[in-house]
Amino acid sequence: MTQPTLIRRERAARPLMLDLFCCAGGAGTGYRQAGFDVVGVDIRPRPNYPFQFIQADALEYLAALIASGEIERYAFVHSSPPCQAGCALTVGTNRSRGWGGTHVDLVPPTRVLLEASGLPYVIEQPNGRAEIRKDLTLCGEQFSLGVIRHRNFELGRWSVTRPAHPKHRGRVRGWRHGEFFDGPYVAAYGNGGGKPTVPELQTAMGIDWTDVREELTEAIPPAYSHWIGAQFLAQTRAGVAA
Cα–Cα distance between 121 and 144 in angstroms, integer?
A: 26
pLDDT score of 192 = 72
Q: Which residues contact 234 (CB under 8 A, 6 or more apart)?
A: none
Q: Each residue of 122-158: pLDDT tens digit? A: 999 999 888 999 999 999 999 999 999 999 999 999 9
Cα 34 to Cα 12, 92, 108, 146: the distances in Å are 14, 35, 28, 21
Nearest CA to 53 among 89, 18, 101? 18
Based on the number of CB atoms within 10 Å of its own CB, is 163 exposed (0-12), middle (13-18) or buried (19 or more)? middle
What is the three-class DSSP state of 168? coil
Amino acid at 161: T
Residue 111 has pLDDT above 50, yes or no: yes
How many residues are listed for the chain in this entry?
242
Q: Each residue of 182-230: pLDDT tens digit? A: 999 999 998 877 899 999 999 999 999 999 999 999 999 999 999 999 9
To the nearest whole number, what is the mean pLDDT of the chain? 90
pTM score, whole prediction: 0.88
